[in-house]
Chain A
């Protein structure tokens, strides 16, 4: 059985201008511990799809199963990291943010703080456990957000362009860190991005989506050994293949 099954998911937005299809007939499946990237231009429905996976939106048609169970709302089986740095609670320290999910679960204070500290160490922020978010740089805040999403040990990590607002150097560091964290924790990851190189660097498999309506255009497997070298010929080949799919659809049919 697949770990995650997305079957024929369709969602239509009602706007003052009429019905706008968000995603249409999207299907794919993931194995446990697989890293899937969803790539596409803005407006292709990739964030909508992630919000459906997270349970914030309900699809009009189709269904999503995680571990055999149908998704009907948000749940602790999924951890979510958004793009916006403001996702952290400013009134809680890094540790308080990471411990939030465990607190909601009812884990006793000492235990949840020990777990949270371990998660912060995993993203190399152990020293900043007691700092408030506004004292942390953007990259550090996103690392806290990753630790927060991992702390209550969800099976799946959903990430919505978490590094898109970072500068290029920090982004490279974060990608390396995320690859390490993923290998250390063995989570199933669905990662939305518009950055082709990022997708090739991180993913086992890449799904290319096209807009109007949002549908899956192509699926590419990335079988490069890790850690990957972004300057290797194979890496660039994969990048080219992805770009070809993306640019083809940019030409109006």
Chain B
């Protein structure tokens, strides 16, 4: 091993050590504040308390149930958002008239935060799953739609011509050229849609859910000053979001656009 590569390994090791050090210091600082007694224990619980609460909630199954409710709402909402955004985005990109009709509506609806609809949806659909899922749908549809639309429009015209010259028409052209050609953007769209959905579901559950869900449990814990439950749930929310981002979308990307060397196009 040469001195340079050794140097680089050292550099990386030092970064990792510094990162670990930062986290330790942050944790220690928090712990010191929590133990100092400057703040009520209920508001600033010690880390062992939080860990204990997390473990208890995991073991008795309540955390799992909260997480499952949240996942259910996110996945159903995402499913509906993809079912709307994907075909509509493709139609808008392929047909002028569709684009001309929907684009102004999208431009006006998009800047409205999904949470602004929460009170109205509660009135219309009551507290519970329907209102929550609709908020998720509202949040997730726009990134899906816009990315698909951009993706299909940016399919390299040379591919279309080449495929046309080789006799591809209609559905063949659509499924074998346009969809894969637009896939980097579509994957980005699904990814952004998930991020938005994940943000939306936590907020919507706080305001509109009735008994279960990670957002609801955090908000409910506020009533009883259970900061340990809040922090434990925050950790679970962060972990699920991180896992989806890295594991699900990371591997989805690796299996498709990265393998095709197209991933740069997806970053825009």
Contact = CB atoms under 8 A, between A and B. Distances in A.
Interface of A is mostly: strand
Nearest to B9: A16
B36 interface: no
Q: How large is the interface on B (under 10, 10 to 19, 20 to 34, 35 or more residues)?
A: under 10
Contacts of A14: 2-5, 7
Contact of A18 (B2, B7, B8): B2
A15 interface: yes
Contacts of A69: none
Contacts of A18: 2
A98 B7 CA distance: 39
Interface string A1-37: 0000000000001111111000000000000000000
Contacts, number: 16
A16 B5 CA distance: 5
Contacts of B7: 14
Nearest to A15: B4
A22 to B, nearest CB: 13
Interface string B1-42: 011110110000000000000000000000000000000000
Interface in A23-67: none
B148 to A, nearest CB: 30
Interface in A99-152: none
Contacts of B3: 14
Nearest to A19: B2
Q: Which 9 A-B pairs have the closest CB atoms?
A: A14-B4, A16-B5, A18-B2, A14-B2, A14-B3, A19-B2, A15-B4, A15-B2, A16-B2
Interface of A: 13-19
16 contacts: A13-B4, A14-B2, A14-B3, A14-B4, A14-B5, A14-B7, A15-B2, A15-B4, A15-B5, A16-B2, A16-B4, A16-B5, A16-B8, A17-B2, A18-B2, A19-B2
Given A14-B4, A15-B5, A16-B5, 13 more contacts: A13-B4, A14-B2, A14-B3, A14-B5, A14-B7, A15-B2, A15-B4, A16-B2, A16-B4, A16-B8, A17-B2, A18-B2, A19-B2
